[in-house]
Structure 1
Amino acid sequence: MTRHSQRHRTTTLPFSYRDKGVDFDLDSFTVDDGDRTALELNPSQTEINLTSAVSSSDSSGEPDWDTITLHGKLRLSEETVQAVFPEDERAHPPAKLYVTIRCHETIYRDREVISEAPTAPGEYDVRVEVPKDTVRGTVELRPYLVRTEARSGEEPNDYADQENFRVASGTLYYVIVDRHEEEERAAIDGERVRFSQNAHLPDGNKLYYLDFRNESRPKLWINSDHPRIAEVLQSRGSVGAEARMRDVILDQVSYGVWVQLLVRAGSAVDVKGEVKHEWQEMVLQTFARNLYDTSDVSEATRRLRDHLSDPQTLPHVMQRIDSELQEYIDPREQLIHLMEEGLQI
């Protein structure tokens, strides 16, 4: 049983966690280089509709903007730090603070680091950029406080002791950047269809298929021969069993999709470290530097190409890719939410 209020609820994780331990307030936004505009949100409002602010179109009929930037504050309290870190770490908490950026429709995830370790209690400015070419529909923003160091040689206690464990989170915002019926170009196209009625799609009970017949524009097909799964994937809620199942299914799909995109993009790098297609550049910009712990994306992409083409290094680079995608997608979080929902905790 927990003694905390709902605002600072401890989950069923095997360590202290605050799901409302970081106060997150968005107060304004800018479109490209335009003026900063106040959001004027109502208390407890978490849905932010920006479609009217970006509704002007260019000659092709597409919305004429490149980046939306959201501004606000994150506040980390002494109470949260005391709850999730042992006493000897509270003066200099080994944690970073970031905001995750997620778009279900394009299977896009990113994060904006707000504070590197150590992250002490206090108020932090937030500036989150949302690029048009990576999202469509609704974008989700949520802050997390994450451990950056493992505690070695310690007896088990009530605190997280491993690197990259999330120990606190805050309000989840839903930012609508275009209307659902508008056909905004995503990182890759997606469509639900019955595989059994389409000869170009695989037989059997496949859940999804990533189609590279048009190398310049891959397409993700979701198999609607599984009507219950397709129905869950269309769920737009944020709580409840369907929302939790949707997030777990999307994590599973996105892992397989990212592996294919990353291997294909890495294999397409030329001798100059360049690629032909926009989606390849997007994938390499997102992952290559982290795979090789370097700030030089050209160096990272060349190393990725070489390692993918060499049978001796291929197993090792696939292990790197797996590790990076587990960190990027973080399937553990959605699985915990689903298990809690199933246990009615």
Structure 2
Amino acid sequence: MTVREIRLNKNLTYRTFPYRCEPDSLEFRIDQFAVDDGSFTEPEQPHYLDLDEYRGWDTLHLRIEIRIPDGLLGKVFPEFDDIPGMLVVAAHCRTTYLREGIVVEDEPIRSGTYTRDVELSSDSVAGSLDLRPLLVRTTDTDAGDEYATEAGVFVADGPRGRVDFEDDNAGDEGLLEVRTRTFSEEGEDSRFPPEDRLHYLDLESDPGQPIVWVNDDHTQVASLMAGDGGSQYDRLTRDLVWNQVMSPVWTRLVTIAAIEYDADTDEWDPEWQAAVFEDLHDELYDDLTPEKAAERLQEDLTKAPVDATRRVEDAVQSVLDPATCYMKHIQGLTD
């Protein structure tokens, strides 16, 4: 598996619900772990595992545990017997752009404690791995507006877990935040776009911390982007939406970073601009360092903007690979 490093992304949190939902109600922990053929060991913290001392590992075994407390299911499901829910752990690695739903227990669900062994290879994760437990509805229902009625919608979650691996690029991680906001609630003088827009790249609030705001007016899309639902269709659609959002975001970030680059300084300011060219300099210009690539693109944007913007778009497509993303989605619909 080829690992493509895309560090400028972060988990989207979604905490407003138009139906019965119980955030932070599941009990979740990393119960034990083992590296390669070693024995299982209990981590020092239930929600955090630091593997920095295990450099060079090939396979990581995680034993995760989720507990559904008594009384929770009755709050979020209208059914009394054979409750159509499943437990899923949403795994997200920002460095390798891995997003995967790990099914811990399938329907019908009951209160109680569930464990699942997860195996990860070193070529699929790097930097860090975020783990989010979710209780997801598995069937549609016409129970009314009070409850979640569509399959794939999560109705409860719990504390997030995190696994940190050795990270040679620790300073670059998390430089782009993703948050939700309801654009329709903004005033006329707001910098946010109209309510029919899906997202907004905010570089005004804090030039050193780019933020992608996802419009909460589009509830189903925002919920999907948050990682809710574990079906194959949901995963393929989620990747497609993320790709659609990140393409213009990357294009704008690269262009602005090039325009603002100062060749006379020893350090990048703001820092996120360095991360942009660390990832894209080879795609923009062969055999140029990130600094030289920024300087060259800055010149090209002034002298030949049509060619320069085409070069940026080609580089972003090379990194995000939208063609493959679309093909997977089409194959998923036809299979």
> Structure 1 length normalisation: TM-score?
0.51
User: CA-to-partner distance for each residue in 1:195-220, whole Å, 9 max, x for gaps?
Assistant: 10123311141110001112111111
Change over 3 Å in CA distance of 1:68–1:266 after alignment to 2: farther
Q: Is the 8 A contact 1:71 1:128 kept in 2?
A: no
Counterpart of 1:219? Answer: 211
Amino acid at match of 2:264: K
Q: Are 2:239 and 1:247 aligned?
A: yes
User: CA-to-partner distance for each residue in 1:277-317, whole Å, 9 max, x for gaps?
Assistant: 1111111111123311014222212101111233xx11111
Q: Is the 8 A contact 2:178 2:213 kept in 1?
A: yes
Counterpart of 1:301? Answer: 294
Residue number among 263, 275, 298 corresponding to 1:282 in the alignment: 275
Partners of 2:46 and 2:54 in 1: how far apart?
9
Partners of 1:289 and 1:261 in 2: how far apart?
16
Residue number among 319, 323, 329 corresponding to 1:332 in the alignment: 323
Partners of 2:54 and 2:214 in 1: how far apart?
29
User: CA-to-partner distance for each residue in 1:94-119, whole Å, 9 max, x for gaps?
Assistant: xxxxxxxxx9685x5579xxxxxxxx
User: CA-to-partner distance for each residue in 1:140-189, whole Å, 9 max, x for gaps?
Assistant: xxxxxxxxxxxxxxxxxxxxxxxxxxxxxxxxxxx9537xxxxxx72212
Q: Are 2:52 and 1:52 aligned?
A: no
Q: Is the 8 A contact 2:96 2:124 kept in 1?
A: no
Partners of 2:288 and 2:124 in 1: how far apart?
20
Change over 3 Å in CA distance of 1:222–1:50 after alignment to 2: same
Partners of 1:270 and 1:288 in 2: how far apart?
16
CA RMSD of aligned residues (A): 4.0
Partners of 2:46 and 2:286 in 1: how far apart?
36
**Partner SS state of residue 298, structure 2:** helix
Amino acid at match of 1:187: L
Aligned residues between the structures: 207
Counterpart of 2:163? Answer: 177
Change over 3 Å in CA distance of 1:68–1:317 after alignment to 2: farther
Residue number among 163, 171, 182 corresponding to 1:194 in the alignment: 182
Change over 3 Å in CA distance of 1:109–1:308 after alignment to 2: farther
User: CA-to-partner distance for each residue in 1:119-143, whole Å, 9 max, x for gaps?
Assistant: xxxxxx9778834xxx66259xxxx
Q: Is the 8 A contact 2:274 2:290 kept in 1?
A: no
Counterpart of 2:35? Answer: 38
**Partner SS state of residue 177, structure 1:** strand
Q: Is the 8 A contact 1:70 1:128 kept in 2?
A: no
Counterpart of 2:136? Answer: none
Q: Is the 8 A contact 2:198 2:214 kept in 1?
A: yes
Amino acid at match of 1:72: D
Q: Is the 8 A contact 1:69 1:127 kept in 2?
A: no
Change over 3 Å in CA distance of 1:248–1:41 after alignment to 2: farther
Amino acid at match of 1:177: V
Q: Is the 8 A contact 1:50 1:176 kept in 2?
A: no
**1:112-261 matched pairs, under 5 angstroms:** 130-131=126-127, 137=130, 176-177=162-163, 186-199=174-187, 200=190, 201-213=192-204, 214-236=206-228, 239-261=231-253
Amino acid at match of 2:237: M
Q: Is the 8 A contact 1:269 1:301 kept in 2?
A: yes
Change over 3 Å in CA distance of 1:129–1:300 after alignment to 2: farther
Sequence identity (%): 20
Change over 3 Å in CA distance of 1:272–1:319 after alignment to 2: same
Gapped regions of structure 1 (runs ≥ 5) = 1-21, 25-36, 43-48, 56-64, 74-102, 112-124, 140-174, 179-184
Shift, 1:52, TM fit: 3.1
Partners of 1:303 and 1:194 in 2: how far apart?
39
Counterpart of 2:58? Answer: 72
Residue number among 313, 319, 330 corresponding to 1:322 in the alignment: 313
Amino acid at match of 1:279: W
Q: Are 2:258 and 1:266 aligned?
A: yes
Partners of 2:46 and 2:36 in 1: how far apart?
9
> Structure 2 length normalisation: TM-score?
0.52
Partners of 1:326 and 1:202 in 2: how far apart?
25
Change over 3 Å in CA distance of 1:305–1:68 after alignment to 2: farther
Amino acid at match of 1:320: R
